[in-house]
């Protein structure tokens, strides 16, 4: 479960975060120079601390119940350029330099580009 590792996240950042019931905050990974949205993942305090201190995007895997550094197994790394919290503290924006595909399916982004039509209003 997230939070089992004692985090060294700065208290000023930790107190701004609004977490889900299981201690997570959604993190959007965005290509820093093009603005392309690459993926959505989850972070807890420790994952955010690791991301901020190592410069490597670190997330909490809800399916594996463990921390994972993007690219450790695939080689498709994310070099962190900046991290920001939204105004409510309930979403993290991680601007990265993506090397290789961001999606586990092998595509550049997890968003398929198959936009859905909206009903006429």
Give the whole-number percent of the chain exceeding pLDDT 90.
79
pTM of the model: 0.87
Three-state DSSP class for 121?
Answer: coil
Beta-ladder partners of 33: none
The values of phi and psi at residue 51, to 5°, are -60, -45
Query: pLDDT tens across 30-77, in order?
Result: 999 999 999 999 999 999 999 999 999 999 999 999 999 999 999 999
By the 8 A CB rule, do 29 and 98 touch? yes
| Residue ranges per structural domain of the chain | 18-98
pLDDT at 87 over 60: yes
Euclidean distance between CA atoms 35 and 95, whole angstroms: 8
Q: In the prediction, which pLDDT does 98 show?
A: 97
Hey, what CATH class is 18-98 in? alpha beta
Q: Catalogue the E-assigned strands of 9-71.
A: 25-31, 37-43, 58-61, 66-69
């Amino acid at each position: 479960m997230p939070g089992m590792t004692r985090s060294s996240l700065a208290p000023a950042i930790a107190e701004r975060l609004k977490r889900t019931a299981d201690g997570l905050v959604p993190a959007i990974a965005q290509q820093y120079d093009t603005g392309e949205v690459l993926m959505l993942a989850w972070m807890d305090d420790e994952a955010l601390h690791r991301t901020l201190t190592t410069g490597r995007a670190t997330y909490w895997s809800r399916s594996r119940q463990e921390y994972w550094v993007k690219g450790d197994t695939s080689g498709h790394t994310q070099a962190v350029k900046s991290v920001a919290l939204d105004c409510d503290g309930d979403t993290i924006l991680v601007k990265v330099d993506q090397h290789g595909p961001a999606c586990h399916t092998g595509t550049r982004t997890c968003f398929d580009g198959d936009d859905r039509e909206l009903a006429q209003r």
